[in-house]
Chain A
Amino acid sequence: EAAVTQSPRNKVTVTGGNVTLSCRQTNSHNYMYWYRQDTGHGLRLIHYSYGAGNLQIGDVPDGYKATRTTQEDFFLLLELASPSQTSLYFCASSDVLGGYEQYFGPGTRLTVL
């Protein structure tokens, strides 16, 4: 069964803080995604990657960096966190050959004070 895990599940930091969110998938999928979810906006794509070392910019990339170290691991970095980045973050993976279906992790709730 498809498996995407995220850590931490909850994180509180202060304005200007440095945060790293981690995602690991064991689906052997090529594509991985980072989204943020806010009330009234659905899911918005931050960054995505189609393989180790690759990074593509999504729709709301400002203030975020990402790195794909292996096929399994994708990280989201907030180097100077701001209160506007308080949100629920989801990681997902997909295999283009299998169509569009994306498999999601359980989410990380980030609060920036």
Chain B
Amino acid sequence: GDSVTQMQGQVTLSEDDFLFINCTYSTTWYPTLFWYVQYPGEGPQLLLKVTTANNKGISRGFEATYDKGTTSFHLQKASVQESDSAVYYCVLGNSNYQLIWGSGTKLIIKP
């Protein structure tokens, strides 16, 4: 069945560092891939969406790309700020309009 794997449980960076988070996915459907972000005490919210049509998404300084050949999906940001501290989820949209969630990557930014 459809699945998503996030291997990085936690990433610790300093302000202005480069961020790169990776996940892999498996699906027999044309993938629609998302990055959701969850700030402390809140529900998740959509950060970026990427489809087979556009291959790339950009929002709030974050960029997401996917590689069909390696079935991997990346989130990156050139210069992180303390306000980016959150949990980032890699999410796959399946053919039933359901979301398949990765286990999340907690981003900690040292001031």
Contact = CB atoms under 8 A, between A and B. Distances in A.
Interface in B75-111: 89, 93, 97-99, 101-104
Q: Which of A42, A45, A104, A106 neighbours the largest number of chain B CB atoms within 10 Å of its CB? A: A42
Given A92-B43, A107-B43, A102 B49 contact: no
A104 B45 contact: yes
Nearest to B33: A100
Nearest to A88: B43
Given A42-B101, A105-B43, A106-B42, A100 B49 contact: yes
Given A104-B43, A106-B41, A48 B101 contact: no
Given A48-B98, A107-B43, A100 B103 contact: no
A90 B43 contact: yes
Interface in B26-66: 32, 34, 41-46, 49
B99 A102 contact: yes
Contacts of B93: 100
For A48, A92, A96, A101, which residue has the most chain B Cβ atoms within 10 angstroms? A101
A104 to B, nearest CB: 3
Contact of B44 (A31, A43, A96, A100): A43
Interface in A18-52: 31, 40-45, 48
Nearest to B93: A100
A69 B34 CA distance: 30
Interface of B: 6, 9, 32, 34, 41-46, 49, 89, 93, 97-99, 101-104
Rank and list the top 6 A-B pairs by shortest CB-CB distance, nearest first: A104-B43, A42-B101, A100-B93, A43-B101, A42-B103, A101-B46
Interface of A: 4, 31, 40-45, 48, 58, 90, 92, 94, 96, 99-107
6 contacts: A31-B97, A43-B101, A100-B32, A100-B34, A100-B99, A102-B46
